[in-house]
Amino acid sequence: MKLEEKIAKKKAVIGVIGLGYIGLSLVDAFGKGGYRLVGYDYNEMKINSLKKKKPYFNFFDHNLIFSLLDDKMLEVSADSSVLKNVDIIIISVSTSLDQNRNPNLTNLHAAFETINKYLKKDQLIILQSSTYPGTTEEEILPIIKKSPFKIGKDIFLAHVPEVADIGNPDFSFMHVPRIVSGITPKCAELAGQLYRQMGCEIFICSSTRVAESAKLLQNSFRLVNIALINEMKVMFDKMGVDVWEVIEAASCKPFGFTPFYPGPGIGGDCIPVTPLYLIWKAKMTEGPTSLLEQAVHVNEATPLYVMNKIIQGLNERKKSLREAKLLILGVGYKKDVNEIHESPAIKILLLLKNMFADVQYHDPYVEQLKLDSKYNLKSIELNYNKLDEYDAVIILTGHSSYDWKKVVQYSNLVIDTRNVTSNIKHPKKKVIKG
Amino acid sequence: MKLEEKIAKKKAVIGVIGLGYIGLSLVDAFGKGGYRLVGYDYNEMKINSLKKKKPYFNFFDHNLIFSLLDDKMLEVSADSSVLKNVDIIIISVSTSLDQNRNPNLTNLHAAFETINKYLKKDQLIILQSSTYPGTTEEEILPIIKKSPFKIGKDIFLAHVPEVADIGNPDFSFMHVPRIVSGITPKCAELAGQLYRQMGCEIFICSSTRVAESAKLLQNSFRLVNIALINEMKVMFDKMGVDVWEVIEAASCKPFGFTPFYPGPGIGGDCIPVTPLYLIWKAKMTEGPTSLLEQAVHVNEATPLYVMNKIIQGLNERKKSLREAKLLILGVGYKKDVNEIHESPAIKILLLLKNMFADVQYHDPYVEQLKLDSKYNLKSIELNYNKLDEYDAVIILTGHSSYDWKKVVQYSNLVIDTRNVTSNIKHPKKKVIKG
């Protein structure tokens, strides 16, 4: 049976490399679609969690994954040999940065070495991870070219950038159009067929390089706009203007304006990471990167602004940081999620620890938080009427489960970086916007 | 009769200072609404044009203005004494930059001196011009405080930032919500009443400073996003990727992305100008401006990129700029409008002239173009089948009236900065995206 027919008849076996949020979403969607799947992740803790039916994301329903495992429609393993003989391999490993904030390509390279072992005739390889323009052509294609299979004829290579709005149920797998690209038109066509079969609209690009660039443009757009509003927050604060009110007023314009909101910094797997892949690649081709780099710097400096607001608030009360007892509320990088990758909370906690502040945190979804080799914190139990034991309570993530009225009522001082307390009446100088 | 009643019964006489596009839109809208108006502009040429029924904007229907003049419901003059005894004064003078790209406050200051002469009891002063945060409080309020009238009681001061999408009929005066603010709540209330009476939705801010800031945030958002895509254009070009295809692909994402498009630079009265008012003010209060300034630099450098593309194209044909005969198509800053304020075409024409190129231009809406004290050009007559007389044809504005197929057919070389020729087949290297 040819691959097209296998896809159409749902006889194709799909292997997924990388069982993070995107990997699980793929398994969930193709599992619902009736395909048999195998999942490989080098991280044994993830594999064991899945086998023991322990969810690891609070914002993703793992139940279908667990039933697929029960029904033997899904096999997961930390041993890549499960990928032997699969018809389709989707690479959805996460991309990250090294200590110099350059791309850490370890996960991608490991995935490419893995596929190299399991290449077979009539197979479709799809790169789903976000990465720099050129990855598919420059890194995966040469591997395939060394194999006995002819690209676009015996074997097919495509790039379909991932799209996700974590924690937003409005945009489930099927409801997000997919950018589809391939090394040859046939490669793109097969990948397009697979996603179309799942109900996705698809947009076919002329090259994998364009698809890789499109994903980075989307992320760079968000990075730069968040940086702009983080810069404006400080700028307007110095003029005695509340940026949140300015955004609300500006948002009444029915064209040409999209509101973005300031925060303590940026976090997550995508926005703080992938634009740095673009900058890294652009430097190799001597392209300009000044604006994008400036945006990175602005966001990276934002935790320091929050620090200053904490220091100002304590100073008003004649307290130094090293005399202060502080509580951070929320460490997830985003409201209502337990994801802490690149979370600004980690940076702010480290800044405070390094100034010898006595700081604790609470997050309903994050039990433990490893700041670095030295500090490993545990979430405290939250007792609203004991908040007055802290000199200041610092809101870093606006989780819906918090009772902000009580937070303001019982705290001595609140630093609110998310504007969640704006409608709560309070004595003067009790709440500082951070 | 109290001012509120005069507004409600349309007995209030409205004076407008500055008869640019915004001033004329105000006259048009309040004229339609049945108010009697006077218009003052120091520029006698504008006044004479209006009196002689000669339109000066190709994108604005002047007919109602002309009938209002006929019906004596509108009087226009270059003598400010027409403003004597008006109930409402709206300042809608244009704001611009001086030679150092700092705010040129001449027009605003002249308007403030003018109102100072015609202050009267029970009068509403509305600043509509875009300007730096603090203008209303720091510049107009002190003038009023020196008068015998008490602010918020005898006289009222408001700021209602202008909103316009020039040449877009979807957003006429009544269809754009207005940000309304006043020195006192009563000041905002009266201004709000006036605009609500015209059918506008209104959004009341807590201070004129917030309203001024909101307008600048809207413009800064556009400035930065255009800069981002102009930077990306060059970055992707160096990687061999077409930015236009990348934008099209990225735009299939249904959330978190808004497409902006590259061009030869930015122009118009707002986007290149007002963010520099914000930067200027932010520096006084030691606020950060690095990202916004970088965006300004990127846009300012964009004409040079277009120059490079012209040079590359000519170089391929072994021609230097000083040997070349060039034609620019379109000099308006925006499609289908005759507005040339800050237009990148002026900068590119000057760059070419300074390299001794033999350059001409055509624009259906702009008969003459003064580049500087030395160069004053006239639009040529366009004859498509004589385009081969030029070594290169450079598209700077994508006016709808052009026949792009013919442009490509008859030209030796096309530099297309607006992607208007993307669907036209052509021999290799005949069209360069600029």
Closest CA to A58 of A382, A400, A271, A364: A364
- Residue A167 is predicted with a pLDDT of 76
Q: Give B413-418 contacts, CB < 8 A, sequence gap 24+.
A: B413/B313, B413/B314, B413/B317, B415/B306, B415/B309, B415/B310, B415/B313, B417/B262, B417/B263, B417/B264, B417/B306, B418/B263, B418/B335
Which bin fits B18, alpha (ψ -120 to 50), beta or left (φ > 0)?
left
Which bin fits B397, alpha (ψ -120 to 50), beta or left (φ > 0)?
beta
- Cα Rg of chain B (Å, integer): 24
Q: Which residues of A130-151 are buried (b: 16+ CB within 10 A; e: fewer)?
A: bbbbbbbbebbbeebeebebeb
pLDDT tens digits, A25-38 = 999 999 999 999 99
- Residue B346 is predicted with a pLDDT of 97
Closest CA to A232 of B266, B291, B269: B291
As a whole number of angstroms, the distance between CA A11 and CA A5 comes to 8
Burial class (CB in 10 A: 0-12, 13-18, 19+), A400: exposed
- Cα Rg of chain A (Å, integer): 24
pLDDT tens digits, A246-298 = 999 999 999 999 999 999 999 999 999 999 999 999 999 999 999 999 999 99
Q: Which residue of A has its CA nearest to B161?
A: A250
Mean pLDDT of all residues belonging to chain A: 96
As a whole number of angstroms, the distance between CA A398 and CA A168 comes to 15
pLDDT tens digits, B287-310 = 999 999 999 999 999 999 999 999
> Are B79 and B38 a contacting pair, CB within 8 Å?
no
Interface test with B, best of A221, A238, A289 (most B CBs within 10 A): A221
What's the Cα-to-Cα distance from B257 to each of A272, B103, B140, B253, rounded to whole Å? Answer: 16, 32, 40, 7
- Residue B165 is predicted with a pLDDT of 81
Query: Do the Cβ atoms of B213 and A239 come within 8 Å?
Result: yes
**Which chain B residues are Cβ-neighbours of A252 within 8 angstroms?**
177-179, 201, 203
> Are B126 and B90 a contacting pair, CB within 8 Å?
yes
Phi then psi for residue A236, to 5 deg, are: -70, -35
As a whole number of angstroms, the distance between CA A257 and CA A126 comes to 36
> Are B131 and B212 a contacting pair, CB within 8 Å?
yes
**Which chain B residues are Cβ-neighbours of A241 within 8 angstroms?**
133, 207, 209-210, 213
As a whole number of angstroms, the distance between CA B265 and CA A109 comes to 40
Domains in chain B, CATH or no CATH each: 3-206 (3.40.50.720), 230-433 (3.40.50.720)
As a whole number of angstroms, the distance between CA B192 and CA B126 comes to 11
Query: Do the Cβ atoms of A252 and B222 come within 8 Å?
Result: no
**Which chain B residues are Cβ-neighbours of A228 within 8 angstroms?**
220-221, 224, 291-292
**Which chain A residues are Cβ-neighbours of B292 within 8 angstroms?**
228, 231
ipTM over 0.85: yes
Under 8 Å CB-to-CB from B202, ≥6 apart: which residues? B177, B178, B179, B180, B192, B195, B196
- Residue B193 is predicted with a pLDDT of 98
- Residue B174 is predicted with a pLDDT of 78
pLDDT tens digits, B154-176 = 999 999 999 888 877 777 777 89
Q: Tell me the average pLDDT across A89-97.
A: 96
Q: Tell me the average pLDDT across A155-174.
A: 85
- Residue A168 is predicted with a pLDDT of 78
Interface test with A, best of B224, B246, B279, B308 (most A CBs within 10 A): B246
A-B Cβ pairs (cutoff 8 Å, strict)? 208
pLDDT tens digits, A375-384 = 999 999 999 9
Minimum-distance CB partner of A234 among B165, B287, B295: B287
| A75: pLDDT strictly greater than 90 | yes
Q: Is A205 a catalytic residue?
A: no
| A331: pLDDT strictly greater than 80 | yes
- Residue A4 is predicted with a pLDDT of 97
pTM (global) more than 0.90 = yes
Interface test with A, best of B132, B252, B280 (most A CBs within 10 A): B252
pLDDT tens digits, B296-355 = 999 999 999 999 999 999 999 999 999 999 999 999 999 999 999 999 999 999 999 999
Q: Which residue of B has its CA nearest to A213?
A: B246
As a whole number of angstroms, the distance between CA A241 and CA A233 comes to 9
**pLDDT (tens place) for every residue of chain B, 434 residues total:** 999 999 999 999 999 999 999 999 999 999 999 999 999 999 999 999 999 999 999 999 999 999 999 999 999 999 999 999 999 999 999 999 999 999 999 999 999 999 999 999 999 999 999 999 999 999 999 999 999 999 999 999 999 999 888 877 777 777 899 999 999 999 999 999 999 999 999 999 999 999 999 999 999 999 999 999 999 999 999 999 999 999 999 999 999 999 999 999 999 999 999 999 999 999 999 999 999 999 999 999 999 999 999 999 999 999 999 999 999 999 999 999 999 999 999 999 999 999 999 999 999 999 999 999 899 999 999 999 999 999 999 999 999 999 999 999 999 999 999 999 999 999 989 999 99
> Any bridge partners for residue A65, and if so which?
none
Q: What is the DSSP string of A225-240?
A: HHHHHHHHHHHHHHTT
As a whole number of angstroms, the distance between CA A233 and CA A249 comes to 15
- Residue B175 is predicted with a pLDDT of 82
Closest CA to B124 of B107, B149, B94: B149
- Residue A174 is predicted with a pLDDT of 78
As a whole number of angstroms, the distance between CA B39 and CA B78 comes to 9
Burial class (CB in 10 A: 0-12, 13-18, 19+), A406: middle
Tokens of B388: 């081969």
